Amino acid sequence: MNLDVNLKNLSLKYGDFTALQDISFSLSPQKIYGLIGRNGAGKTSLLALLASFRAPTSGTISIGGEDPFENAKIMRQVSFAYNREYTDDDKPGKAYLEMSQRYRPNFDMDYARELAKRFGLPLDKRVKKLSRGMQSALDATLGLANRAPVSIFDEVYLSMDPPSRKIFYQEIIEDQNRFPRLMILSTYLVSEMEYLFDHVLILDQGRLVIDEDFETVINRGAAVTGPSAEVDAFVRDKKQLSSQQLGPTKSVMIYESISEAQRVEAQKRDLEIGPVSLQELFIHLTEKEDEK
């Protein structure tokens, strides 16, 4: 089953606080989306809406052409993995796997056990007695083994140690090859995850600031370095994200496509055009005025 996701003019308010404002985008099946944003940008609020944890204040969500909220057919096809609180829970990990098997139509118990083994996750131990990293591994295991057509992972990997995160990233790629589905990976650990993304969504203070495929985003970002006056002349009409001055040399980060003709012109001006990582773009695109 392939499901697409469409949001139109979506807003969410908690009392007087606006968590999301006028968000519109479309997500296609079988792609991995990176949802990037700083703490408090609205990532979890947005994902909670997709998973029908709450209804939006205004605007519409459509998954597979239908409103997902209280829609039994759609809700069981949307899996939302996040770092759950297990402090009051006496159940062992295997009880969570059994619940998923009971209520998630595509859940693969063998795959879940295999993942638990890879993560070193003891399924017989009470979950509240596990370390935070192991609890995250359980959340990730459930999210992957649910094999839901819309699989959402909201920073489940943050508490994992680097080797476990590496296993998780490998499994994302391998399982996506075996069972392609729409995946959304929310994170601010951009540098170690960017290779997973087909498409990038950047949220900043409840607004969607970037919604483009990974290659386009990366190709738009560029660091222009050279003699100060030449750099200023070259970037004058372009969207500038940051600048650094070192003696007579200046480096300006821009976010705009550079045509072949412009590259030739840059060469003539003795300017160097270098790539910019998604991490750097994210930092500068979401930088507040007083942080610059």
Partner 1 sequence: MRLGNSTKFNIAHDLFATQIKWSLWYIPAALAIYFFTYYIVAESGDISLAWAIIETSKLCMLVFGLSIFLALLPQYVKYGVTRKEYFVGSAIAAVGVVIGTVAIALILNKIAYTFGLSTSSLPDFNAVPAWILPSALSLNLLSYYVAGWLIAAAIFKGKLGFGLIPVAVFIVFLTALLWKGQIFGFVLTAPYSLSILGNILLVSLGLVVIRLITRAIPIDVK
Judged by the rule CB under 8 A, the positions of this chain that interact with partner 1 are 44, 47-48, 52-55, 69-72, 75-80, 82, 84-85, 99-105, 148, 154
Phi, psi of 227, deg, nearest 5:
-60, 135
Least distance between partner 1 and beta carbon 46 (Å)? 11
Judged by beta carbon, residue 69 or residue 255, the one nearer partner 1 is 69
Least distance between partner 1 and beta carbon 208 (Å)? 20
Phi, psi of 197, deg, nearest 5:
-85, 135
Least distance between partner 1 and beta carbon 106 (Å)? 10
* CB atoms near residue 131 (< 10 Å): 10
Distance from C-alpha of 253 to C-alpha of 274, rounded to nearest angstrom = 9
| 5-14 β-sheet, strand order | 17-27, 5-14, 58-63
Least distance between partner 1 and beta carbon 82 (Å)? 6
Judged by beta carbon, residue 143 or residue 221, the one nearer partner 1 is 143
* CB atoms near residue 49 (< 10 Å): 24
Judged by beta carbon, residue 179 or residue 255, the one nearer partner 1 is 179
Least distance between partner 1 and beta carbon 182 (Å)? 15
Distance from C-alpha of 292 to C-alpha of 290, rounded to nearest angstrom = 6
Least distance between partner 1 and beta carbon 100 (Å)? 7
Nearest to 223 by CA among 172, 166, 165, 284: 284
Judged by beta carbon, residue 100 or residue 286, the one nearer partner 1 is 100
Judged by beta carbon, residue 150 or residue 281, the one nearer partner 1 is 150
| Signed CA dihedral, 104, 146, 189, 252: sign only | negative
Distance from C-alpha of 177 to C-alpha of 180, rounded to nearest angstrom = 6
